[in-house]
Amino acid sequence: QIFCYTTFKYCSTVPFISLNVAGYCTQEEILTRIENVILGIVTSLSRDEAPVLALPNRSSWANVSFDTGVGLQMTSGSSVTAIRSDCPSSVTKFAQIIKILSVIYRLVQSNSYATKRDIYYNSTQLFGSQTAVDNIVDDISCMLKIPRRSLHVLATSKGLISGDLIDVTSLRNINYIVSSAKFVLIVEKDATFQRLLDDNFCAKLSPCIIMTGKGVPDVNSRLMVRKLWDILRIPIFALVDADPHGIEIMCIYKYGSVAMSFEAHSLTVSSVMWLGLLPSDIQRLQVPRDALIPLTKRDESKLNSLLKRPYLTTQPHWQKEMELMQQTKVKAELQSLAAIAPDFLTSIYLPNKLRYGGWV
């Protein structure tokens, strides 16, 4: 009952719900946009000018705005980075972009698919690292204004999902989702996810869906949460460590990230609620002091950064919890609850939270 997002299947007897997949470009649209980029390059060469590619800046907070319904989204007048073909510092990236554009063009034209890993190993000397390929695929998606999943370039999914779920072939071709689940629980870490499975959490409490992106979620994990919300419209809770890193991961699911702000409309779920572990829970439950961890300078810096995020003004309860963490100067992992009792998380903490409304 544990599946990666690219291919999974779990049958159920409840009625299915139809889904019309939106947000994909047609083959003709994708090919035309790539051709326009190449035409611009050819035109520059015909004028004896060095071709230049303009990439929207995906790392600057100045290029994003916050919308309560969408989250962090890239503004229409965002600044761009010029990738020049005649500049030593950018000529390699220029070549890398053209190479991947040509690969995408062939894939779309032939209606075939390749993984980002395939692209890297096809030209390891050109790209130098897998990270370069990953970033350029996202840059191209942003530049062409085409969802990454429409470019026929696949990423190996790292997320896992289990519970009263679904009959699905892939995120690209979801036709229906079948579930009688009462809620979705996003779990930050794989270790906690596995613990919930070992304790048969969903069967003991009520029909539910649990999933994890194994830390910082990839695009497929975020897409999956969004699909579940769009179709099932059931509560979605986040279960993360009471530390700045866990809070930021939860914010990515709810509000998105600067790097992927150009796809915010299909990746964010503004209804996500913070179930735990809350900093106030640490005090309320009197978690043993030796199970707590002092905040590092890096933690404090991250916490200060989070408190300045534009979306925190709409979440006074989140802000209060984070300020409590600032004051106490300690953090706690979910595993710290085992210091109270070995099965405290699944037998007492989560059931009580879900029954009596202990979320913010």
Active-site annotation, residues: 121
Distance CA(171)–CA(173), nearest Å, equals: 5
33: tokens are 């946009």
Place of tokens 């916490």: 303
Distance CA(168)–CA(291), nearest Å, equals: 41
Q: What are φ and ψ of residue 276, in 5° steps?
A: 175, 175
Residue 93: closest CA among 62, 51, 63, 61: 51
Residue 146: closest CA among 271, 37, 291: 37
List residues bridging with 66 in a β-sheet. Answer: 72
138: tokens are 């996202």
CA neighbours closer than 13 Å in the CB half-sphere of residue 215: 2
Distance CA(241)–CA(278), nearest Å, equals: 8
Please answer whether residues 275 and 188 qualify as being in contact, where contact means their C-beta atoms are separated by less than 8 angstroms.
Answer: no
Distance CA(214)–CA(337), nearest Å, equals: 20
Distance CA(99)–CA(112), nearest Å, equals: 17
Roughly how many angstroms between the first and final C-alpha of the chain, as a whole number? Answer: 29
Distance CA(70)–CA(216), nearest Å, equals: 20
Q: What are φ and ψ of residue 255, in 5° steps?
A: -115, -15
